[in-house]
Structure 1
Amino acid sequence: MESSDVEQDLQRSVQAVLRELRAQAPALKSNRGMWRWSLHKKVERDPRKSPVLVHILLRELEKAESEDGRHVIIPLLHTLMYVLTKATGITEELYQRTYAFCMRLLTLPAPYCTVALDCAIKLKTETAVPGTLYQRLVIAEQNLKSELYPYQERVFLFVDPELVPPSVCSALLLEIQAAQGQQTPEACMRHVVSHALQAALGAACRADALQRKLQASPRRALERYFHAVVAAVEQMASEPSPSREGHLERLEEVYCSLLGPTAAARGRCGGDALPDRPPSIPLPSPYITFHLWTDEEQLWKELVLFLRPRSQMRLSADLEALDLQGLLPDQELARASMLSTDSGIERDLPSGTEELLTPSSPEMERAGLQRKGGMKKRVWPLDILMPSNWDGPPGLHRRTGRPMGDGELLPGVSRLHTARVLVLGDDRMLGRLAQAYHSLRKRETQTFCLTPRLSLQLYYIPVLTPEKPASPRHVELGELAAFLGRADPWYESTVNTLCPAIQKLAEMPPSLDTSQTVDPFILDVITYYVRMGTQPIYFQMYTVKIFFSDLSQDSAEDIFLTELKVKIQDSKLPKDGFSPRRKGTAEGPGAELSLCYQKALLSHRTREVTISLRATGLVLKALPASDTEDPHTSSPPPTVVSLTDHTCLNVNVTEVVKSSNLAGRSFSTVTNSFRTASIQIQSQDQRLLTLWLDKDNRRTFRDVVRFEVAPCPEPCSGTQKSKALWLGSHQQKETERTKAKPKPLLMPINTFSGIVQ
């Protein structure tokens, strides 16, 4: 195929992706996600197309920048970065243009500047040291041992067998096993060596001869080449000003040792005819473990097992103290420091050195910082307390932010492990994930063993039951997925399309022949999502305290993420029950309820409202409605900007209205809606309440007379409680006086861009 034909074919595919982002017709929506996947497959099968595709994508990005077409910038930028990660033979000029474009995006508001900054950091290293992104990705995802790059990642795929059909579980498991059966450590090391040499040497690299040599190399020799290439790339990438020429020289030495100086020189001089199509170097899918979620503590156990092989880690003294067995705050977390007893005016210099040290010497500067005669005092390490949020800054409801990544939490302690927890299901599965996340954070306040070592990333792919897409139950269980699609159009186009695709895959007969080369669409989209979905959207979790009609029964506490539904039971309290029916109350449908809530105001001022009404039920939703905000008004549907509203619950009460006429009394219902930050509801007559959390019938509470809902606070750390023992009385009073309100607990779900304004 001629170069002009290749460019036209790729241009048509890119235009199809752009039309997909603007598509409103159902015919185009049905194929969403396929265009992006097929575009990447074209350059994967023929690596020569990569520079052409990079040029086309960069041209479309610059066009969108000049025409202010921001809605396509982030999808095109993610597509471009995914191509650059796999590609070889990209010219330095294309790298520089892409880097300059990302730097220009830094003047835009979030999330554009956030995504652009992440891409610019990667491009700066990739420009000087080609192949760095590919090498680091494979090493981390495949858990290859490397002292210069010790980071490890793993994807934990959780499926609730009670919510997802067994056919879907079997289809996903077969596809994962078929793909990972060919990804041995030896194959991954060959991919790293071959990709690094081709990216550095370009057309001078004899790719076919190189791959034949690597295939014939024994395990010990292959490991030697792998470590040599990793050392050359990582040492050059760690320099403040890496040199592309120096990087080329180091990899030429490895190339000559592989093929021999004669064959390597002949390849550089063009002695042998190079093949028309260089062999493709695949990017292996990440290491995925499949789990059926049957145990409440399963997430915690799997994360601990992920960190258990400590022989592969180089731990510092601070990290060794944080053992997996737990901590004693007054012993392990207390440090010994020196409290000086001198005045701090005169310098305590060693005897006989005054005449040897010059005033500007480094020894003189260090001597000025020395203290003598100090006594040991145990102080509380403020830098080791539980962080306010696991990965990401604290913020308002559904605000976006950039995760902490591989930053240091303790001196000398880096998060070497990244756990990407991917859940499949509907809103009920996310409610269960919220429970596990809250339990995890609460456990961390006691043991504090995962936080210093682990970067936790949460992902969600909706898989709904095979019902009619337009059925009310089908729409109800997919509310959070619809919210994420409205917040991030690229998530809607790439991830939400997996729901029908997974169902179709499950209906197909399984193929047990893993020798055939297939294109695993579902696995490829999952891989693309966990790799490029780095921008989280934070969701407020809510805690509910429940009081029952049986006074001997203790109150219960639980949390919910999306919805709490209340219905009136047919049963009543006994005559000596909790609250007898008031005199004068007319019998009718529903129950008399007392509502006390704090009205949600944009000014964040406190305004408490107390009302009594008769209702047949009510629903508390933590997500904004997809249609109009107020059913009693004719306001237009909310735009994406409304997704960044402050923390609030949307309460919909089905109120009973009594009317009298000549025919007698009649009752009708009307839905009232309001917003609140917290609410208390109590039954005023003999009617009892039934509560459903997160639409899950397994999380049902019956015989309820009162409940309280409020934003779930950050779990209180045991170290923070013990810290009071170390404070003096004056300092403790000052701390209590300036004590702030507890921070809310936010659960992040990763998307491609966060909330697009």
Structure 2
Amino acid sequence: MESRVKNPVMNTGAVWEKVCAGETRVSQEHCTSGSANIAANTEADIQRSVQAIIRELDQEHPAFQCSRGMFRWTLHKKTERDPYSSNFLVKILIGELELAKKNNKHYILPLLNILMYAIIQAAYIPDNLYEKTYTFCKGLLSFPKPYCTIGHQYAVMLKAERKAPGILYQRAVISEHGLKNDTFSHREKIFVFADPDLISEEVINALHNEIRSVSLSDTSADYMSHIIKHSIQATLGENCDISKLDEALQNKPYNMIEHYFQEVVAVTEQSCFSSEEVTTAHRKHSSKLQQLYRAIISSAQQVSSSSERLQNIPLPNPNISFFMWKEDDLLWKELVQFAKNQLDGCQDFIYSDSDTSEMSETTDGRNFEQTRLSVLSTDSGIVRDCGDPTVGNDASPSRSSDRNQTKLSRKGCVKKRNHDSENVLCFPDIYDNNAISNDMTLHRKFGCNVMSFGIKHLKPNTARVIVIGNDCILGRLAKAFHSLRKREARRGILTTKLNLLFYYIPVTNEKQRPMCAGQVKHLLHHDLSCELSRYLGSVDPWYNSNINSLRNMIPELAKMSTTSGQQSGADPFIVDVASYYVRMGCQPVCFQIYSVKLTFSDETEEIVDDVFLIQLEAQFPEQKCAKESTLVRRKALSEGIGGQITVTYKKAGNVMMRTSYIKIKVQDNCGKSMTVCLDKDFRRVYKDVISIDVSPCLEPGYCLHKMRTLRFNQTEIENIGLTKYMPKCLLLPLNTFAGIL
């Protein structure tokens, strides 16, 4: 196991060549009468892997932490290589979950995540195992949050999977790879942002190469074939000759594969939303897919029946776009481009009257003010008043009878934009009711997995943004998110089109550029390690095992791939883990973003308004004017929503501190100033600062509505109109697997 932990990318091929040799023999002998002992050995092997994961959740020894995340990854690789292992895994996990309900509740969500991910990928699951898993998830409804919320979400997904086996797999592939169909139109895109100033070049190259190799592996025809085979096999089980089905699809032209794909998706979606009882819906679904299966294989040549009746169809990794975050507004530009691309291709379900003109504009915020907000029609909008000659000259009987009636119809015209309705909440799904209050505590909102089934409430697209780096990149993300929210408060370009989800993968081995001339060199003496990821790992053990483990592993893997070259055919470990994270990490933890106002000693310089997420550090220069004020040093902490605000200073002025507001000002007669650094970022250093004002950053939409309300209401009453229903503080949501336990 040690070699697998130290070098998972380089050694996976060699390790699995030995491990899977036995597994291949197991799968080939499952259908024979003498396979009982081999099946028992396979089940025992899965049991040992599950126990290793359980021990991992309890181990805190540093030597043990180097293997965190590897046990889960290798377990899922085992089930990928042996289609019969999934049934053993589901059965074992159900037993462990029942035991965990009594004494070890912290095992429940990690094991349940493994179970659901196995079901999504499984070649075939018997209905009795579906039923047991569904019963367990329903039993979690009596538990406190987050157990009850996640249990309910998974119960809904399992009920749909029982009606139409394979729908979870199907929806994941369709949305992640943008497969066009007439039934399920949701689209996803994963954006990975890495800051070249914070991560070494070898790490960036390793990430880029692995992501590129995965994204170029399959075509749209391959993805459609995967869905066809997986859906039919998941429904029919061993009654499906998967070898014959595969051979038949390989000989079909693209248009026929697309036709079968459309039929499979239509049948599956119809069965999923059927109001009939589960057993009845499943029986009808099986009958329809059986007919389709026979139609597909009817033209196939006679092939020898395979001894392996089930075949695993791997769940493809999602399409990932990798970006070097060099421009501050790059996130905004890419999100707008993604929404625009979906708008061009899917006019039927996300079109609005003024979207196309807005999306074609430049993303420069200064031009937003010059954009026409509405177009008012000069006519009445009634067809009979418009004087259209085609209407008057049409003498058909139907038109004549229509003219004799007094009914009026509207002419298609451009509607006036309603400012209040478009700016109510730009991304309301990331907040809960507690976020509206002013209490300074961490908040958690239980999100909705894209594969869940509240489609009426689901926006047409989902953008999953992964940032990779240390605390500095989270500060940059907070600033970009604040800028995005300000744009959206003025004009909701992305509001109705995108679910925006943020994910954080910590990476150490930071690269620091030389300090600029005259910059205080010892200002950035603090630890640049990933403090926020450590906090997320402390509240969510499964995040700690799977994501925090990448903090040192990614740089090590990058060095190995640089020195010896990545092994051909090796499993893409980093992409696999990132895919698991974005698919199963649907519970955000929200962190308060802080606003800071900086005043400079030079009165000609404008006051700077900025934001930060983790830390503000202020350094005072040496002062020799007063002995009692030269060597005194204080450290003030203000705990808010999320991390800590740390202010380091020498006694050079008056300090006023409260939980929600901090002000530091240099005495006027001192003639000195401060140097300020935000979020540990050497690029965000301000010099010659004489005053700092820190407060929780307000939601831009809330501020805009408050300003508009006060125009018509001279009373200084807060939270009137829509503002009392809106979140007041701006929170940055970072997704984890369980939120806060």
Q: TM class, shorter-chain normalised?
A: 0.7 to 0.9
Q: Which residue of 1 aligns with 2:663?
A: 680
Structure with the bigger percentage of helix: 2
Q: What pairs up with 1:22-171 in 2 under 5 angstroms?
A: 22-65=58-101, 67-171=102-206
CA distance in 2, matches of 1:261, 1:545: 72
Match of 2:589 among 530, 533, 537: 537
Contact conserved, 1:88 with 1:195, CA < 8 A, in 2? yes
Question: Is residue 405–residue 455 contact of structure 1 (8 Å, CA) maintained in 2?
Answer: no
Provide Cα deviations, 1:77-129, integer angstroms capped at 9, x if missing partner.
00000000011221111111111111111111111112112211111100111
Q: Which runs of 5+ in 1 are unaligned?
A: 339-369, 371-376, 573-580, 591-614, 624-645, 658-671
Counterpart contact for 1:141–1:153, Cα < 8 Å? yes
Residue 374 of structure 2 is aligned with which of 306, 314, 331?
331
Counterpart of 1:284 (choices 316, 328, 331) is 316
Q: Indicate conservation of the 8 Å contact 1:545/1:556, yes or no.
A: yes
Cα distance in 1, alignment partners of residues 245 and 643 from structure 2: 60
Cα displacement string for residues 138-190 of structure 1 (whole angstroms, at most 9, x for unaligned residues): 00001111121011111100000010001001111111111222121111111
Relative distance call for 1:730 and 1:554 in structure 2 (3 A) is closer
1:742/1:6 Cα in 2 relative to 1: closer, same or farther (>3 Å)? closer
Shift of 1:311: 3.1
Amino acid across the alignment from 1:172: L
Q: Tell me the distance in 2 between the aligned counterparts of 1:64 and 1:170.
A: 42
Question: Residue 19 of structure 1 corresponds to which residue in structure 2?
Answer: 55
- Relative distance call for 1:131 and 1:317 in structure 2 (3 A) is closer
Q: Percent identity?
A: 37
Letter of the aligned partner of 1:427 in structure 2?
A: D
Select which of 272, 283, 292 maps to 1:245: 283
Report the CA distance shift for 1:248/1:261 in structure 2 as closer, same or farther (over 3 A): farther
SS in 1 for 2:103: coil
State the shift of 1:384 in Å.
Answer: 2.9
2:424, 2:722 within 8 Å by CA — same for their partners in 1? no
Q: Which residue of 1 aligns with 2:7?
A: none
The residue number in structure 2 matching 1:662 is none
Q: Secondary structure at the match of 1:319?
A: coil
Task: Say which SS state the counterpart of residue 424 (structure 1) adopts.
Answer: strand
Aligned match of 1:754: 739
1:510 deviates by 4.6
SS of alignment partner, residue 676 of structure 1: coil
Match of 1:498 among 546, 550, 556: 550
Alignment partner, residue 692 of structure 1: 677
Query: By how many angstroms is 1:441 displaced?
Result: 0.5
Q: Which amino acid aligns with 1:384?
A: E
Match of 1:361 in 2: none
Report the alpha carbon displacement of residue 320 of structure 1 after superposing the two structures with TM. Answer: 3.3
Cα distance in 1 between the residues matched to 2:585 and 2:380: 43
1:710 and 2:695 matched: yes
Stretches of structure 2 lacking an aligned partner (at least 5 in a row) = 1-25, 27-37, 362-367, 382-407, 409-414, 512-523
Asked if 1:485 is matched to 2:537, the reply is: yes
Q: Distance in 2 between matches of 1:546 and 1:690?
A: 11
What is the CA-CA distance between 1:501 and the residue it aligns to?
1.6
Whether the aligned pair in 2 keeps the contact of 1:543 and 1:712 (CA below 8 Å) is yes
* Counterpart residue number, 2:519: none
Question: Which amino acid in the other structure matches residue 475 of structure 2?
Answer: G
Q: Aligned to 1:88, what secondary structure does the other structure show?
A: coil
Per the TM alignment, residue 314 of structure 1 is displaced from its structure 2 partner at its CA by 3.7
Using the alignment, how far apart are the partners of 2:337 and 2:273 within structure 1?
Answer: 31
2: distance between equivalents of 1:432 and 1:477?
16
What code does the residue aligned with 1:484 have?
A: L
SS in 2 for 1:158: strand
1:425 to 451, 460, 469: 469
**TM-score, normalization by structure 1:** 0.77
Task: Report the 3-state secondary structure (helix = DSSP H, G, I; strand = E; otherwise coil) of the residue aligned with 2:663.
Answer: strand
Q: Is residue 2:580 matched to residue 1:528?
A: yes
Aligned residue type for 2:477: L
Instruction: Give, in whole Å, the separation in 1 of the partners of 2:548 and 2:717.
Output: 52
Residue pair 2:236, 2:290 contacting (<8 A) in 1 also? yes
- The one-character-per-residue Cα deviations of 1:661-710 (angstroms, maximum 9, x if unpaired) are xxxxxxxxxxx998722111111233211111000111011111111000
Tell me which residue corresponds to 2:630: 589
On the 8 A contact 1:651/1:676 being kept in 2, the answer is no
Distance 1:317 1:153, change over 3 A: closer
Structure 2: how far apart are the matches of 1:220 and 1:312?
19
Point out the structure with max Rg over C-alpha.
1
1:146–1:227 Cα contact (<8 Å) kept: yes
Q: Is the 8 A contact 1:445 1:716 kept in 2?
A: yes
What do residues 691-736 of structure 1 show as CA deviations (whole Å, max 9, x unaligned)?
11000111011111111000000014797379559x9779998985
* SS of residue matched to 1:558: strand
**Offset of residue 451 of structure 1:** 1.0
> Does structure 1 residue 298 correspond to structure 2 residue 330?
yes
RMSD: 3.6
Q: Which residue of 1 aligns with 2:422?
A: 384
Contact 2:177 2:188 in 1 (8 A): yes
Task: Give the Å deviation of 1:498.
Answer: 0.9
Letter in 2 for 1:678: Y
Give distance in 2, aligned partners of 1:648 and 1:25.
25
Deviations 1:562-585 (A, max 9, x none): 00011112489xxxxxxxx8xxx4
